[in-house]
A and B are shown apart, each in its own frame.
Chain A
Amino acid sequence: MSSLAGSGSAHLRGDAAILSVEDLEVEYHTARGAFKAVAGVSFDLLPGETLGIVGESGCGKSTTGRAVLRLDPIAGGTVRYREERIESASPARMRELRRDMQMIFQDPVSSLNPRRAVKDLVMEGAEIGGVAKKQRELEAPEILTQVGLPSERFAEMLPRQLSGGQAQRVAIGRALAVKPGLLICDEPVSALDVSVQAQVLNLLEELKAKYDLTIVFIAHDLGVVRSFSDNVLVMYLGKTCEFGDSVEVYARPAHPYTRGLLDSVPSPESPEGFTGPALTGDIPSPLNPPSGCRFRARCPIAQDVCAIEEPAMREVRPGQYAACHFPLD
């Protein structure tokens, strides 16, 4: 019962999912004590689906992504990928599994070894997998062409000679070269110029269709997530707030936090400068989270019960789930 008392897992879809995360907890240990950066998050993905995870900085969305690959230690809950349990896989098995679950990082330049040429970077996975140098030399131009970097010009370049967008293309090529079953994109375009953002997103979109990729797309930019994802998961302070079809959630948010996020988007038309009443205040410290609902301190419709009882995820409308005592219509 305790596992369901948190954010809840009513929105999970069972065995059909390729990735199923249930009550995931990740703990960080600091000088001032341990805290849960992720405190009971559940989500799942069907094959070929794209899930967007959104939330403010510090809500635990990136930590969630890393924990799925066990790049951050899993403190509680279960992560199932195909038939494997990630949280209990042996280190040797984990090394094999990780090849099937690739990640694209926020800072494209930092994610490339500054002393490697582009052609070696994209074939890194193959090299680790034991593919001969000759074969790698043959395959590298193919991969580079796929991510829109002509091999003749870019193969010998070093990361610092690339722009952010080009570097991110190399990172995408490197991830796709190992033919992953799951791709986790951790804010892949936040560090890029708006014009380049669109190019990289289009590239991802194109490759998604071509390879039928299953993608977890982590971002704080709501617009980017809406255009890119089938489903969206809204997180706040390590908890799940809302889950549902991205068009539905954007059109009719059920959780006051989702509403607040959408209203905080700057808008030149409105006199206040925002689409609606913007969120105020800062995200509370996860070292000492509020009792009951974690959002109640910033929630415009909070009642007494919100301080006492933590809301569980429940179906508000068909296919749309929210963890709120007073979901919006």
Chain B
Amino acid sequence: MTVVTRSISSVSGQALRGARTGIPVVAPAKRQWSVLVWFSYFWIGLVVFLAIFASVLPIAPIDAVVGPPRQPPQLGSLDTLLGTDGTGRSLLSRLIYGGQVSLVVGTVSAAGGVLVGTILGLLAGYFRGRVDWIVTLAADVLLSFPALVLLLAITSIFSPSVPTLLIGLALTSTPTFIRLARANTMAWSSREFVRAARNMGASDTRIVLREILPNVVPTIAAYLPLVVAALIVAEGSLSFLGLGVPPPTPSWGGMINAGAAEMRTSPYLVFVPATVLFLTVFALNQAGEHLRLRFDRTLRD
């Protein structure tokens, strides 16, 4: 949408200036700095900053009771700014500390899933045949398990710990990326420029890395923030079952889950952490889109 508007405005600008000087002038691409983008970078910076410096901030410890339970968000004290949870602990401080776990779990496990999924998807889509058969079968098997059952199985076989959790979550996100990468690879590798590259004597490695991968990455990158969000929530479900990060260490997903039981009487127990999660994912999307416009030449000019 924005791209269309911009190109129209640049054309008219060019025509105006061209008419004045007699020389065609190409308008420089307008910078995309909307309020939303500003806010998104600010929000991501804020969340990361708070999570890193949580221990030196003047906020209550995560397990300290700061007031009566189930207080709604209120002005006054910093500790009760966002209200208190079912046992009277500060929601603000738990959100800030929870950011540590949630951000690490979301990004690291999604990164693992993207890495493994993209590699396998590229290989399957490019080489087809037996490789494709094995990879597709593995992806289908993983997909046919409900994600939660799969995570339960992993955490019950290996002792529940943060690395196990990361591996488990990465595994649940892998098949999605395999499918995405494989389908895109198949579409791109049938294009004639791949045939032309082979005809230049390019090796399979070169064709996959230089010709196909750059075309597959944008699709995957567009999907990535959504997966990060899903994984943050999935970690919460695991915490709820006692298989995630052990309490009292907070996480956003865990807080949403804990509040779900009291949704009817104290909805802000869910809404406060859910809003933070939503804003973070939204900001990741916006920032990702902005970075793509900034650095991807095929979308500009």
Contacts and interface: CB of A to CB of B under 8 A. Distances in A.
B297 A158 contact: yes
B196 A111 contact: yes
Given A105-B192, A105-B195, A128-B206, A114 B298 contact: yes
A82 interface: no
B191 A110 contact: yes
B199 A128 contact: no
A217 B206 CA distance: 29
A161 B297 CA distance: 12
A97 B32 CA distance: 48
Contacts of A178: 200
Contacts of A98: 198-201
B211 A113 contact: yes
A95 B203 contact: yes
Interface residues of B, number: 19
Instruction: Classify the interface of chain B: helix, strand, loop or mixed.
Output: helix
A111 to B, nearest CB: 4
B87 interface: no
B28 to A, nearest CB: 14
Nearest to B218: A115
Contacts of B214: 113, 115
Interface in B36-78: none
A117 B215 CA distance: 14
Interface in A132-182: 158, 160-161, 171, 174, 178
A129 B201 contact: yes
B200 A71 contact: no
A248 interface: no
Contacts of B200: 98-99, 102, 124-125, 128, 174, 178
Contacts of B198: 71, 98
Interface string A101-126: 11101010011111101000000110
A103 B193 contact: no
A269 interface: no
Contacts of B301: 158, 161
B274 interface: no
A96 interface: yes
Contacts of A102: 199-200
Nearest to A106: B192
A61 B25 CA distance: 47
A69 interface: yes
Nearest to A113: B193
Interface string A70-99: 010000000000000000000000011011
A71 B298 contact: no
A124 B196 CA distance: 10
A69 B195 CA distance: 11
B201 A115 contact: no
Contacts of A99: 199-201
Interface string B101-143: 0000000000000000000000000000000000000000000
A213 B226 CA distance: 54
B248 to A, nearest CB: 49
Contacts of A125: 200-201
Contact of B298 (A95, A110, A128, A158): A158
B197 interface: yes
Q: B193, B195, B198, B297: which has the most chain A beta carbons within 10 Å?
A: B193
A115 B191 contact: no
A103 B201 contact: no
Contacts of A96: 201
Contact of B196 (A95, A161, A171): A171
A71 B202 CA distance: 13
Nearest to A95: B201
A107 B206 CA distance: 23
Given A105-B195, A128-B206, A114 B201 contact: no
Contacts of A161: 301
A101 B192 CA distance: 16
B193 A69 contact: no
B300 to A, nearest CB: 9
A113 B198 CA distance: 13
10 contacts: A95-B201, A98-B200, A98-B201, A107-B192, A110-B193, A111-B191, A114-B215, A115-B298, A128-B200, A129-B201
CB-CB nearest 8 A-B residue pairs: A111-B192, A95-B201, A125-B200, A99-B201, A105-B192, A113-B193, A110-B192, A115-B214
